[in-house]
Structure 1
């Protein structure tokens, strides 16, 4: 079956799995807070057991199948975070820790990693829709810093459906990036609402 799949499909599925791992930790946290979100979310969007891609993908509809997996994990993230924060706004602190720690875990960077490698790692781990969405674009990049811009928000519709705040998503995402580039001794900062930068410390 894997003969029908290309590297880009495995690359995208890995990004889905990284976000799914975050969702699973959030659902564990929700149970600590007395919210039983897992049952309803699993019922509507599937469970958190993402098997190897070549074992589960519909090779007659690779693009559609992957798009469906993105929709499921995006909905689970938006709904779980929104409901937790609605119950206790202070939970944002723990949610940020979950994202930061998952950024650290997902990182293959080290103190010798270049800015270019760090930006590639961000693009390799954060889920920003399908590759054809071209949600992000590099503005400038050299050995000391990389600046990029978000041209399209592919997440807002899920947060609107969950009656959540998309700004919460981006604050959590920022923590993931900070964790991801930590080992490379890089700073991450938001220049404005849609523009971000990593740079040498």
Structure 2
């Protein structure tokens, strides 16, 4: 394990903060306040335990993943999932993305948590011309969906975000036979 902060650690911290931001925005839709766990704010180098970089990041990943699972599950119970998906769509749309299908996959990967990079949860299977395809090798989100909903609600959420991301370009996101496709 590294005792020095590298680019990947900053990328992970940015992902943690991005997912936390969307989660907190969606939580404003809830009728009842859900007690979300907090993560520290500030510069990563001022916050992180450099003797345990991986562990420190993993704890924050677990916090924001659990918060997201709770919020999405509660919103579905309250019949407000569509409103939450609209927020996800809007977050994607405001990214003002331009690029090809491969760029869109990388952009999504730079914004969302899929475990730690070594988990390789999303496995690219094909990239050609105007298409990029990947499969979900493992579902790293499933462990957090203990609030009455399955992790499929997470993939609805991320799909809405992806549709927002691609709304300003000629690409679309679909899932066919378990294969994620940007084309």
TM over 0.5: yes
Query: For 1:168 and 1:155, how far apart are their aligned partners in 2?
Result: 10
Partners in 1 of 2:16 and 2:96 — Cα distance? 17
Q: Which residue of 2 aligns with 1:58?
A: 49
Distance 2:75 2:100 in 1: 37
Could you list the per-position Cα deviations for residues 12-52 of structure 1 after superposition, in whole angstroms to 9, with x for gaps in the alignment? 1111111101111012222xx3x111xx22xxx225x5322
CA distance in 2: counterparts of 1:55 and 1:85, whole angstroms: 37
| Offset, 1:152 | 0.1
Question: Scaled by the length of structure 2, what TM-score is found?
Answer: 0.92
List aligned pairs for 1:33-182, cutoff 5 A.
33=31, 35-37=32-34, 40-41=35-36, 45-46=37-38, 50-86=41-77, 88-89=78-79, 91-105=80-94, 107=95, 109-110=97-98, 113-159=99-145, 161-182=146-167
- Tell me if the contact between 1:79 and 1:164 (Cα under 8 Å) persists in the aligned partners: no
Distance 2:84 2:157 in 1: 7
- The separation in 2 between residues aligned to 1:109 and 1:74, in whole angstroms, is 25
Following superposition, the deviation at residue 108 of structure 1 comes to 5.3
Deviation, structure 1 residue 74: 0.6
- CA distance in 1: counterparts of 2:169 and 2:63, whole angstroms: 32
Match of 1:185 in 2: 170
1:48-85 deviations in Å (ceiling 9; x for gaps): x5322112111110000000000000110111221222
The root-mean-square deviation of aligned C-alpha atoms, in Å, is 1.6
In structure 1, the gaps of 5 or more residues are: none
1-structure distance, mates of 2:55, 2:47: 13
Whether the aligned pair in 2 keeps the contact of 1:116 and 1:143 (CA below 8 Å) is no
Secondary structure at the residue paired with 2:51? coil
Q: Secondary structure at the match of 2:28?
A: helix
Which residue is 2:17 aligned to?
A: 17
In terms of fraction of residues, the more helix-rich structure is: 1
